[in-house]
Amino acid sequence: MALSLALILGGCDSNTSVGGSTSSDDPPDPPNATTFQVAVVTETDHPDPNAHSVVFEVDGVQGAELTLVRGETYIFQMGDTPALHPFHISTSSTGGDGGAGEWTDGVTGNFASGNSAVTFVVPNGAPDLLFYQCANHLIMGWRLNIISPSG
Ligand SMILES: [Cu+2]
């Protein structure tokens, strides 16, 4: 009665190359957005000696200087950051001041904390230099160099 089971189990060992991954090292298609992981950490290595006592760390680098390309999308993902440090995109080299230098064009989610995110679709009209900053403290962030796509 149960003989059909043996037929199923018997036919397994065929050519292992079929359906396997190719041998090339092609990277996956580029994602639509680049995600940066943001944390607030005690300052030890920020590029500005006048930085605040706690600073934004981006992908593990305090005050990372980032290059963003016009027309592309960037996500600044907060990693359980305190509400005391509202992360936003700014025209101000120092930030603070209640977020007075907020840059809004192309941005959603400014003044992020906790586990929220700021998404920045860099507009063609963005200046060559912007910043990511805290609305409450001076010099927690650093530079966003804005460039145009090559070609
Ligand atoms: Cu702050």
What's the 88 CA to ligand 1 centre distance in angstroms? 11
CATH number at residue 123: 2.60.40.420
Residue-wise pLDDT tens digits, 93-144: 999 999 999 999 999 999 999 999 999 999 999 999 999 999 999 999 999 9
What's the 135 CA to ligand 1 centre distance in angstroms? 6
What's the 35 CA to ligand 1 centre distance in angstroms? 21
pTM of structure = 0.79
Residue 139, in any domain of the structure: yes
What's the 36 CA to ligand 1 centre distance in angstroms? 18
- Say what the pLDDT of residue 116 is: 97
Residue 60, in any domain of the structure: yes
Parent domain of 52: 33-147
Residue-wise pLDDT tens digits, 40-60: 999 999 999 999 999 999 999
Is the pLDDT higher at 16 or at 148? 148
Beta strands in the chain (DSSP E): 33-42, 54-58, 61-62, 66-69, 73-78, 87-90, 107-108, 117-121, 129-134, 142-147
Residue 73, in any domain of the structure: yes
Residue 53, in any domain of the structure: yes
| Residues lying with their CB under 5 A of ligand 1, a single-atom ion | 85, 134, 136-137, 140
How many separate domains does the chain show?
A: 1
Please state, for a pLDDT cut of 70, what percent of the chain lies above it. 79
What's the 140 CA to ligand 1 centre distance in angstroms? 6
Q: Are 147 and 106 in contact (CB under 8 A)?
A: no
What's the 61 CA to ligand 1 centre distance in angstroms? 17
